[in-house]
Amino acid sequence: MTLKERGILRDPLPNFISVRKRQWKRPYAVRKPKNYKATDPGDIVEVDTLDIRPLPGLILKQFTARDIVTRWDVIKASSSATATAAAYFIDILLDRMPFPIKAIQVDGGPEFQDFFEETCKKHGINLFVLPPRSTKLNGHVERAQRTHTEEFYEITDTSFEMKELNQALLKWEIIYNTVRPPIPALFNAKTVSGTKTQLN
């Protein structure tokens, strides 16, 4: 006779609560409306994090932002990817993007919740969050991170002390935005880190 037949083993009570119903409601972030199109600079800036593993046992994070219209990037290294660090990155974006930011698009990572959401709301920046398991929808910033990995981290001899690393990243960011890529004609002259740079 089995344990179930002897009354020792009982089936668990059914749980009819849907996983979808248990999803936490974001206080500010929303799905990008289907009719929202990025046509001008700043309409959508994709933001993501990149793992940096320069040495055994050392894991740093890079916050990366890319405007999908102009392909303008802003990058900053951090010791960790917390909501506080991500919120601080917004201030850097507002300072270093050469145009107003209307909307930021992120995945559902915890670093893009809480204080990050509050900071977007405080600055009047729309915050779009991707559906689960759909990182391909942030393909512009994913491609940017591959480029920064291949053309900065893999070939640049730099210190991984945070201050020195961010100084090197800022130099690379300026080169990347003003020398390396073709920039649309509407960006004939912009101010980057306080220096007016002629763009092609």
- We report the CATH number of the domain holding residue 170 as 3.30.420.10
Q: Which residues pair with 18 in a beta bridge?
A: none
| pTM confidence score | 0.78
pLDDT average per 10 residues of sequence, the chain (200 residues) = 65 56 74 95 97 91 97 96 97 96 95 96 96 84 94 91 96 92 47 38
Domain count, the chain: 1
In a domain, 185, yes or no: no
In a domain, 165, yes or no: yes
The Cα 171–Cα 116 span in angstroms is 26
In a domain, 3, yes or no: no
pLDDT of residue 119: 97
Reading the block at residue 120, the tokens are: 């977007």
In a domain, 2, yes or no: no
In a domain, 129, yes or no: yes
- Structural domain that includes position 61: 39-179
pLDDT of residue 198: 35
User: C-alpha 62: how far from its chain's center?
Assistant: 9
